[in-house]
Amino acid sequence: MKRIVSVSLGSSKRDHSFETEFMAEKFLIERIGTDGDWDKAIQLIKDLDGKVDAFGMGGIDLYIYIAGKRYVIKDAKKLLVARKTPMVDGSGLKNTLERKCVLDIQKDGILDLRGKKVLMVSAADRFGMAEALEEVGANLTLGDLIYTLDVPIPLKSLKALKMIGRMVAPVVVSMPFDKLYPTGKDQEVIIPKHSKYYYQADVIAGDFNYIKRYLPEKLNGQIIITNTTTRDDMRL
């Protein structure tokens, strides 16, 4: 049996493990959160290096993609300490599988996204999803400046994000990661912020921890397109 371990900077409350089979091969897949403790995450990777078949980088990506250009997140490089076991960060899945999911939702008639007002709290974090939403005709509001940089300016198109991203991304990826994304216990804290954009949306899409971080006290029946939710998250 192959063992895959995702070492996450996120909350240990979200830890999970399961066994599955893929192409006649059995896998044990585990998620281990380190509650935002970088040293603990680094040590865990070192301890398991060579003892597991693959690492996942959790709670952080090595890259963000904007308009086909890849930007390396400086802090993520701290976790690249494995010498024997390969490590992946999931950014490839974001740019492919999540994109396909949105297109399939539209194609299969699960939800007609054409003309729907869609808030993406961070499109840079889910650029493939954002491109797919634009492709199917959604009316986008991109909250990257609002929620990541605390600049209260909504972006209304990917063209605008691409233009701003080229200027801002090199600076953003050099910032301390915990200033950009909730890690550890901060993932349990909700700070309602610029709630009008949540209320104006028909659909809220993207990373759940980003969505949850600034979630208003109550929504009005908005549809959520996201991932990595727990049972507790579903009760919110």
Percent of the chain topping pLDDT 90: 73
3-state secondary structure of 204: strand
Nearest to 118 by CA among 100, 103, 137, 104: 137
Enclosing H/E stretch for 25? strand 25-33
> What pLDDT score was predicted for residue 93?
83
What pTM value is reported for the model? 0.89
Q: Which carries the bigger pLDDT value, residue 166 or residue 21?
A: 21
**How far, in Å, CA of 169 to CA of 215, rounded?**
25
pLDDT digits (tens, 9 = 90+) for 11-68: 898 899 999 999 999 999 999 999 999 999 999 999 999 999 999 999 898 988 887 7
> What pLDDT score was predicted for residue 42?
97
> What pLDDT score was predicted for residue 236?
67
Let me know: does 199 contact 118? Beta carbons within 8 Å.
no
Residue with tokens 């008639």: 109
For helices 91-107 and 127-135, what crossing angle results, to 10°? 20
> What pLDDT score was predicted for residue 47?
98
- Give the chain's mean pLDDT: 92
Let me know: does 32 contact 3? Beta carbons within 8 Å.
no
Q: Which carries the bigger pLDDT value, residue 200 or residue 165?
A: 200
Checking if the pLDDT of 103 tops 80, the result is yes
**How far, in Å, CA of 197 to CA of 62, rounded?**
29
pLDDT digits (tens, 9 = 90+) for 124-157: 888 899 999 999 999 999 999 999 889 999 999 9
Which of these CATH numbers, 3.40.50, 3.40.30, 3.90.1200, 3.30.420, describes 93-234? Answer: 3.40.50
> What pLDDT score was predicted for residue 165?
87
**How far, in Å, CA of 29 to CA of 31, rounded?**
7
Q: What are phi and psi of 184, to 5 degrees?
A: 55, -135
**How far, in Å, CA of 200 to CA of 220, rounded?**
10
Enclosing H/E stretch for 131? helix 127-135
Both tokens of 33, joined, read 């959160």
Domain boundaries, the chain: 2-90, 93-234
> What pLDDT score was predicted for residue 155?
96
Written as one string, the DSSP assignment of 102-129 is HHHHHHTTS---TT-EEEES-SGGGHHH
pLDDT digits (tens, 9 = 90+) for 62-94: 988 887 788 999 999 999 999 999 999 988 888
Q: Which carries the bigger pLDDT value, residue 33 or residue 181?
A: 33
Cα angle 236, 118, 105; round to 5: 85
